[in-house]
């Protein structure tokens, strides 16, 4: 039955020849798809997988694809060794105002400076897999990571295919970060309905793990989940290689590590301002944090961490600003990064902020490389 009385849309899979197998998708296999959320997309895919033995053609197709869609799984033990993630990386939104050639020149420099990974977001600019490909092609060793790829931006089949394509082309260099994003970005920008985060992500992962892939498979893939609250952290520990946290103090890192245990990766973003004047530094930090203070996923996490409603008002209290954005000289920023590491972070990706939000923070990246990378 269709949830909430929504009109059922039946999509017939048309016959097409799958490369390398010459096996046809069975005409009689139907996918039940609804407008929508990752949860309903995943239900459709799982319904399809349960029909795989309803006809000889369906059974032949799924055997040829070497998948078991009705029993999705994620083997971290097999996947994690494929990706060697250094202790320090870069997180940046500063690529968006830059032309593609400049972006590639910059990632090559970050690689030479010794940073282990470069993380970027997906919101109003370049599509996440396209941007990843630009960065991977412009470098030779550095890991490229999505921080994050919005699960409402593409269906699970497409997400899985994109991940496998890049992982095969650039072995041990691509890390897929997945996230549920935020209500305004999902409902106002993409015109989707924002559903319950945990249930939607779990179903989305089920569908990703069930997705067949008929091209050359990668030796391994790696993924992490954007996670702040305890339930998403638990899901990240069970269903991915680990978690990617954002706008968090070291206290959150310690809590996340305790909850997830010693195995999963914990990749922590840390915003930094290389400025010793408190007034100037906090002004830059407030300009950065302002948008996040209107997003419940972040404000709820701040409240869980013991901050108050007063801390969140009027651009954020000094107490909140100083806890979330590290500022000062290179030594002060090094101290904050080390605090995350001591609390259990495997990887800290610094997000360098400056007064010029459209410029690449090259000065900051270059100076901090000397302090943070040994």
- Residue ranges of the domains in the chain? 3-64, 85-372
Question: Which positions of the chain have pLDDT values less than 70?
Answer: 1-82
Residue 116 has a pLDDT of 98
Topology of domain 85-372 in CATH is TIM Barrel (3.20.20)
Q: What is the pLDDT of residue 185?
A: 75
Tens-digit pLDDT profile for residues 80-96: 446 889 999 999 999 99
Nearest Cα neighbor of 272 from 337, 350, 335 is: 350
Express each pLDDT in 143-170 by its tens digit. 999 999 999 999 999 999 999 999 999 9
Q: Which of 273, 216, 250 is nearest to 341 (CA)?
A: 250
How far the first Cα of the chain sits from its last, in Å, is 58
């Amino acid at each position: 039955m269709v949830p909430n009385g929504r009109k059922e849309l039946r999509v017939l899979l048309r016959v097409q020849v799958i490369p390398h197998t010459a096996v046809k998708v069975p005409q009689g296999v139907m996918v039940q798809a609804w407008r929508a959320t990752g949860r309903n997309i995943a239900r459709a895919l799982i319904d399809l997988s349960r029909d795989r033995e309803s006809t000889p053609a369906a059974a032949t197709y799924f055997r040829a694809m070497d998948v078991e869609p009705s029993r999705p799984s994620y083997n971290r033990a097999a996947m994690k060794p494929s990706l060697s993630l250094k202790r320090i990386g870069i997180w940046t939104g500063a690529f968006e105002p830059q032309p593609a050639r400049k972006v590639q020149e910059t990632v090559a420099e970050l690689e030479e400076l010794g940073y282990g990974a470069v993380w970027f977001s997906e919101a109003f600019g370049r599509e996440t897999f396209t941007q990843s490909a630009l960065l991977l092609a412009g470098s030779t060793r550095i890991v490229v990571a999505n921080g994050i790829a919005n699960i409402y931006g593409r269906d699970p089949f497409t997400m899985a295919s994109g991940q496998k394509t890049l992982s095969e082309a650039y072995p041990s260099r691509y890390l897929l970060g997945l996230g549920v994003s935020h209500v305004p970005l999902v409902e106002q920008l993409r015109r989707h309905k924002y559903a319950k985060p945990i249930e939607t992500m779990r179903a989305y992962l089920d569908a990703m793990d069930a997705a067949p892939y008929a091209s050359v498979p990668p030796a391994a893939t790696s993924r992490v989940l954007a996670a702040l609250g305890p339930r998403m952290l638990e899901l990240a520990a069970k269903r991915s290689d680990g978690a990617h946290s954002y706008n968090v103090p070291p206290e959150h890192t310690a809590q996340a590590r305790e909850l997830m245990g010693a195995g999963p990766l914990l990749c922590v973003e840390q915003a930094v301002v290389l400025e010793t004047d408190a007034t100037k530094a906090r002004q830059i930090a407030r300009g950065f944090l302002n948008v996040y203070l209107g997003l419940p996923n972040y404000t709820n996490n701040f409240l869980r961490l013991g901050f108050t409603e007063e801390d969140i008002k009027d651009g954020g209290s000094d107490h909140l600003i100083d806890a979330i954005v590290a500022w000062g000289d290179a030594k002060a920023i090094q101290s904050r990064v080390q605090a995350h590491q001591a609390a259990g972070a495997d990887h800290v990706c610094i997000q360098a902020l400056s007064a010029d939000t459209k410029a690449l923070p090259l000065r900051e990246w270059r100076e901090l490389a000397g302090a943070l990378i040994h």
